[in-house]
Amino acid sequence: MLKAERVIHIQETLERLYPKTPVPLNHRDPYTLLVAVLLSAQCTDARVNQITPLLFEKADNPHDMAKLPLETIHAIIRPCGLAPMKSKGIAGLSRILVEKYDGEVPADMTALEALPAVGHKTASVVMSQAFGVPAFPVDTHIHRLAQRWGLSSGKNVVQTEKDLKRLFPREKWNALHLQIIFYGREYCTARGCNGTVCPLCRELYPNRKKPVVTRK
């Protein structure tokens, strides 16, 4: 199967399996999504969804969060891991949003990436899922699947993002980001598939015998 054929088959399969793409992180607005995505780094969405209600009960907007003691934020989010960095990031970005943006999350990639503890992937998720701006956030899971499916040979998520944006229509990016995540969790997990097991891997490469080793 040629790459162009693989791209079409992947897109059609994912749209059939996941016609709806709800954001797996519970949130109410751009700010609560931003905080939830920040907390999801090296943490499961399920765990984040357990913690955010406790945090947002104390403060669910930048104004209130900026007034919350750092120790309180740290204690609440500790189960998500990386609590020292994440708590400082949440407190810091909340203060900046109040001081510079009147408490609103800016719908601008550069402005988001300038916030404490907000990297390109987090900013991309907020732009795509909170504001509907086409983006293709790539984490290690999407990076792994893109390599198993022969869509990218990039050594990092930056190159993989460029490759995926080039291959798929811009208007499909936001949904595809979530569809690939959903598929990876259900069928093509880190340990459950090595490029030869799940339905898509077998369909795309029926003659593949050796596991695909992800380039990092």
Q: Which residues are catalytic?
A: 121, 139
Contact 143, 149 (CB under 8 A): no
Closest CA to 42 of 146, 135, 121: 121
Which residue is associated with the tokens 């990639």?
109
Sign of CA dihedral 80, 82, 122, 95: positive
Contact 26, 49 (CB under 8 A): yes
Could you give the angle at the alpha carbon of 23 between the alpha carbons of 84 and 76, nearest 5°? 25
How many CA atoms, within 13 angstroms, populate the side-chain half-sphere of residue 212? Answer: 30
